[in-house]
Amino acid sequence: MAGNNHKNDPNVLHPHIAPMSTYFKVAGVLFALTFLTVIAHQFHTQLGAFAAPIAFIIAAVKATFVLLYFMHLKDDNNMNRIIFSTGFIMLAVLLIFCVIDIVTRVVEVSPL
């Protein structure tokens, strides 16, 4: 009874606005993407060099669903979206610098 009377309560930042069916749908999508990850792993030899990028894309989509629905960024203000996006952009920059470092290394041959 008292669970839905948050409209005039100053202690509640925002009411719970997503129905349970949304959470079940998102959970279903996450389970499907997990199943897709397992299938992609079974074909990693056929995918060759595309195996890792496909796995990262699936993981990014799953992380996006978790951020938007379970962490409520979909219904939150833009400042929190910017803060989370900045973290992921910095992670991407770090990954790019690591890849550039590994790709541009000179192969050293041991004289032994």
What average pLDDT does the structure give for the chain?
86
Q: Report whether pLDDT(104) > 60.
A: yes
**pTM value?**
0.67
Q: What is the mean pLDDT of residues 32-49?
A: 93
CA distances from 47 to 6, 37, 42, 61, 103 (A): 51, 13, 10, 19, 21
Average pLDDT over residues 14-22: 77
**Residue 1: pLDDT band with limits 50, 70, 90:** very low
Helix, strand, coil percent content, the chain, rounded in steps of 5: 70, 0, 30
pLDDT exceeds cutoff 70 at 15: no
* pLDDT on residue 2: 47
Distance, CA of 68 to CA of 55 (rounded, Å) = 20
